[in-house]
Amino acid sequence: MRQVGEGPTVRFLRLIRFSHTIFALPFALGALIVAANGWPSLRILVLVVVCMVFARTAAMLFNRLVDWSLDQRNPRTASRHLLISKSGVILLLAVTSGGFLLAAAAINRLTLILAPVALALIFFYSLTKRFTSATHFFLGLALAIAPVGAWIAQTGRIDFAPIVLAAGVICWVAGFDLIYATQDYDFDRREGIRSLVVKLGIARSLRLAQLLHLLTFAALIIFGVVAQLGAFYYWSMPLVAVALFYEHKTEKLDLIGINRAFFQSNAFVSAVFLVAVCVDRLR
């Protein structure tokens, strides 16, 4: 709900959960640095960050728009519509979508061509819960576009390394989204919303999340091999493993504990990845 003295900017950032940008952005920046084999140009760096912020903001606004009535019925999200008006969401969605397309067009020809496709894919996730239980993987795909897009921004082509990293991001996101979705199990069943948590049950979904995070860890190792990263990158991987292990302890926590562990562990995973890549490529 709206807090006393809370300005429109703060309410907007709460609506789109801007702090969660930290999840995908480090993977995009890491891919960019590896593709550049060092610092990219300031122009490319700025444009990639702008694309990331605009794309994620547009995706979150689209999600809030299509789930407007649904969120009002969910106790966990019932106050979201109080943060900003529906007309305001529509206006900001148009602005951020246009900003993303313009920024992508300014990078290179391939990003210009693929930008509408990327935008369509990240919007598509918000619709998937209405017809498939695999919605968690579509969310992963939406975030996995970031490192691939950053790689294309630097090189003008698609290579195997960012595809491997994207596969790891898909598994990582799908895994933590399964954990997060356990909070809405009763509501989703009642509303007929499709998710693997509803289809498989909480216990089996949590086991699937563990498997997906094992695959994430494997993909990060393979990315290091394909991208020819150095020893420091591999020495950092046990920290990623510890963070993922910690995240799977959230099933024993209350709602506040789940949210805290969810943010801390996932922010730590992406931050470790970025630091490891930076130390390897920028020293």
pLDDT tens digits for the chain (283 residues)?
Answer: 444 446 666 555 555 565 556 678 899 999 999 999 999 999 999 999 999 989 988 988 898 888 777 666 665 655 555 567 778 889 989 999 999 999 999 999 999 999 999 999 999 998 998 888 999 999 999 999 999 999 999 999 999 999 999 999 999 999 988 888 887 788 778 777 788 988 988 889 889 999 999 999 999 999 999 999 999 999 999 999 998 888 877 655 555 556 666 677 888 999 999 999 999 998 7
Domain count, the chain: 1
Residue 2 lies in a domain: no
CA 204/CA 188 separation, integer angstroms: 16
Is the pTM of the predicted complex or chain greater than 0.85? Answer: yes
Residue 100 lies in a domain: yes
Residue 1 lies in a domain: no
- Give the CATH number for residue 234: 1.10.357.140
Instruction: Give the structural domain span for 266.
Output: 8-282
Structure tokens at 140: 């992963």
Longest dimension (CA), the chain: 54
CA 219/CA 269 separation, integer angstroms: 13
Residue 228 lies in a domain: yes
Reference 215, options 281, 144, 146, 277; nearest CA is: 144
Reference 15, options 83, 65, 111; nearest CA is: 83
